[in-house]
C-alpha cells in the first residue's frame, strides 16, 4: 500500500540507523517526541531498543486524552448525571479516571453517554433527540479542532439549539514554550507532530529553534519516517544547527492548511488552558468566540466535585518527560490497561500504555 510499505523496509531502516550513528559519532542525545501517535509508533516498531546506544527517547505532552485534567472529566461526569442531557464523546475518554468516577462507570449507572467517531456524529444525536441537550466533549489539538469547528457551524446552520460543546481543545506551541522555558528536562531535539503541523504550518514552532536553540523536525508516523527524522535531528546536532525542518512533506507543508485555520478562527479564540501535569498555560487553549457562546456547555448548571488526583499516579510527570512510565510505582502493578490509575495508561496514544504494551519489543 502506497505510503505504508515503502516506509517500513527493514533494509532501509538499518541503513538509516547507520546514518544516525555516523552523524552522532558516539554521542548520545536526548530527543522528545511530542505527539502521542509518534510515541505509539516508536514503541510498536521497537525503535527505542534499536536506538538505545545513540538516542534517549522521551515522550512529551502530545496525547490529548492524557493532558486533559481531572477538572474537565469531573464536569463531564456531572453533565452525564444531569437530567435531560446526553453526553457524546470520543471512545477513549470513556475510561479515563476523574476524581472519583469515569464516564464508563456513569454509563453503567444509567447515564446516557454515547461514544462516537466524529463531531458530526454528535450532531446526529442532537437531531434525533430534540427534547434533550446533546453535549459533545471536545478534546484534541489543532488536528481535531477544525472538525469540531465545522460541526458547530453545521449545528448553527441546521438550527440545532440543543447542541452544546464542552471544550478542552488545546494548541501545541505554547505548551512547548512552557516545557522548554521550564528547563526541567534537557533536550537535544524535538520530533514535532506531523498532523498538527499539517494544519498550523511550521512557523508557529520556529521559536523553539530561534529562542531555545532546540533542533526540531516535523515527522511522519511510519518507522522510516521516524528514523529519517532522527537522522535529520542528528545532523542538526552534529553541525551545531537549530532549525525547524519538515520530514513529513507528503502531508505537512510550511504554510499548513489555510482553510482549516480559517474555519478554526471563525469559531474559536485562544485562551489559557489547564494541562495535566503542567498547570495553566496562557494562550494554549481554544474557547468559543462570544458569538458562539450559546453552544457552550459550561452554561449548563451542574455541581462539580472538587478535583483530586489519584495517589501515586505520575501521569503528569510522564507528560512533561520528567520521568519514564516505568519510574512510576503504580506502573504494571496496580495501574494496567484493564485497571488504569491515570490517563496515560488509558489512551492508545498514552506513553504508559505504549510502554506497557510494547516494552518487550525494545
d(CA 14, CA 19): 9
pLDDT in tens, the chain (362 residues): 455 566 666 678 889 999 999 999 999 999 999 999 999 999 999 999 999 899 999 999 999 999 999 999 999 999 999 999 999 999 999 999 999 999 999 999 999 999 999 999 999 999 999 999 999 999 999 999 999 999 999 999 999 999 999 999 999 999 999 999 999 999 999 999 999 999 999 999 999 999 999 999 999 999 999 999 999 999 999 999 999 999 999 999 999 999 999 999 999 999 999 999 999 999 999 999 999 999 999 999 999 999 999 999 999 999 999 999 999 999 999 999 999 999 999 998 999 999 999 986 55
Is 233 in contact with 215 (CB distance < 8 Å)?
yes
How confident is the model at residue 348, as a pLDDT?
A: 86
Residue whose grid cell is 466524529? 118
What's the domain count of the chain? 1
**What are the angstrom distances between the C-alpha of 249 and each of 10, 227, 231?**
22, 15, 16
The CATH number of whichever domain residue 266 belongs to comes to 3.40.50.11740
How confident is the model at residue 339, as a pLDDT?
A: 93
Is 7 contained in some domain?
A: no
Is 334 contained in some domain?
A: no
Is 102 contained in some domain?
A: yes
How confident is the model at residue 351, as a pLDDT?
A: 97
Among 66, 84, 99, residue whose Cα is nearest residue 175: 66
Q: 89 has which bridge partners? A: 115
Burial class (CB in 10 A: 0-12, 13-18, 19+), 132: middle
Is 80 contained in some domain?
A: yes
Between helix 145-158 and helix 258-267 the angle, nearest 10°, is: 60
Give the total residue count for the chain: 362
Task: Report the 3 state secondary structure along 124-170.
Answer: HHHHHCCCCEEEEEEEECCCCHHHHHHHHHHHHHHCCCCEEEEEEEE
Is 17 contained in some domain?
A: no
Is 88 contained in some domain?
A: yes
Between helix 10-24 and helix 223-239 the angle, nearest 10°, is: 10
What are the pLDDT digits (tens) for 68-127?
999 999 999 999 999 999 999 999 999 999 999 999 999 999 999 999 999 999 999 999
Burial class (CB in 10 A: 0-12, 13-18, 19+), 165: buried
pTM higher than 0.85 for the full model? yes
* Neighbouring C-beta atoms of residue 310, cutoff 10 Å: 18
Give Dmax (Cα) for the chain.
Answer: 67
Alpha helices in the chain (DSSP H): 10-24, 36-44, 47-51, 64-67, 70-81, 103-108, 119-128, 145-158, 172-182, 194-200, 206-210, 223-239, 258-267, 315-319, 351-358
Is 189 contained in some domain?
A: no
Among 128, 78, 42, 112, residue whose Cα is nearest residue 353: 42
Structural domain boundaries, residue 98: 65-171+258-296
How confident is the model at residue 8, as a pLDDT?
A: 60
Among 29, 95, 75, 21, residue whose Cα is nearest residue 237: 29
Sign, CA torsion 203/62/5/47: positive
Is 114 contained in some domain?
A: yes
d(CA 85, CA 326): 40
Q: Which residues contact 129 (CB under 8 A, 6 or more apart)?
A: 86, 162
Q: What angle do CA 39, 42, 46 make, to 5 degrees?
A: 140
**What are the angstrom distances between the C-alpha of 187 and each of 119, 191, 225, 247, 328?**
36, 11, 20, 19, 21
Helix (H), strand (E) at residue 33: strand 29-33
Amino acid at each position: 500500500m502506497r505510503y505504508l510499505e515503502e516506509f517500513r523496509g527493514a533494509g532501509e531502516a538499518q541503513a538509516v540507523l547507520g546514518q544516525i550513528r555516523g552523524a552522532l559519532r558516539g554521542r548520545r542525545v536526548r530527543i522528545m517526541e511530542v505527539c502521542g501517535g509518534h510515541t505509539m509508533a516508536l514503541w510498536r516498531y521497537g525503535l527505542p531498543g534499536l536506538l538505545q546506544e545513540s538516542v534517549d527517547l522521551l515522550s512529551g505532552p502530545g496525547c490529548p486524552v492524557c493532558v486533559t485534567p481531572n477538572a474537565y472529566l469531573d464536569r463531564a461526569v456531572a453533565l452525564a448525571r444531569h437530567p435531560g442531557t446526553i453526553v457524546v464523546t470520543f471512545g477513549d475518554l470513556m475510561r479515563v479516571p476523574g476524581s472519583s468516577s469515569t464516564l464508563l462507570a456513569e454509563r453503567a449507572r444509567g447515564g446516557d453517554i454515547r461514544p462516537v467517531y466524529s463531531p458530526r456524529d454528535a450532531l446526529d444525536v442532537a437531531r434525533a433527540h430534540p427534547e434533550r441537550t446533546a453535549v459533545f466533549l471536545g478534546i484534541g489539538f489543532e488536528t481535531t479542532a477544525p472538525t469540531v469547528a465545522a460541526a458547530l457551524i453545521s449545528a448553527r446552520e441546521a438550527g440545532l439549539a440543543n447542541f452544546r460543546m464542552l471544550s478542552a481543545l488545546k494548541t501545541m506551541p505554547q505548551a512547548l514554550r512552557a516545557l522548554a522555558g521550564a528547563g526541567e528536562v534537557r533536550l537535544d531535539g524535538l520530533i514535532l507532530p506531523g498532523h498538527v503541523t499539517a494544519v498550523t504550518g511550521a512557523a508557529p514552532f520556529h521559536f523553539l529553534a530561534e529562542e531555545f536553540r532546540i533542533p526540531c523536525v516535523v515527522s511522519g508516523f511510519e518507522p522510516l519516517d521516524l528514523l529519517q527524522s532522527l537522522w535529520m535531528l542528528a545532523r542538526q546536532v552534529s553541525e551545531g544547527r537549530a532549525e525547524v525542518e519538515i520530514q513529513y512533506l507528503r502531508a505537512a507543508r510550511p504554510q499548513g492548511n489555510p482553510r482549516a485555520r480559517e474555519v478554526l478562527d471563525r469559531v474559536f479564540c485562544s485562551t489559557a488552558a489547564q494541562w495535566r501535569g503542567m498547570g495553566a498555560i496562557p494562550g494554549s487553549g481554544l474557547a468559543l468566540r462570544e458569538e458562539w457562546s450559546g453552544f457552550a456547555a459550561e452554561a449548563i448548571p451542574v455541581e462539580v466535585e472538587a478535583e483530586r488526583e489519584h495517589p501515586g499516579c505520575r501521569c503528569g510527570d510522564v507528560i512533561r518527560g520528567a520521568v519514564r512510565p516505568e519510574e512510576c510505582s503504580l506502573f504494571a502493578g496496580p495501574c494496567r490497561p484493564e485497571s488504569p490509575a491515570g490517563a496515560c495508561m488509558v489512551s492508545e496514544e498514552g506513553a504508559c500504555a505504549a510502554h506497557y504494551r510494547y516494552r518487550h519489543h525494545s
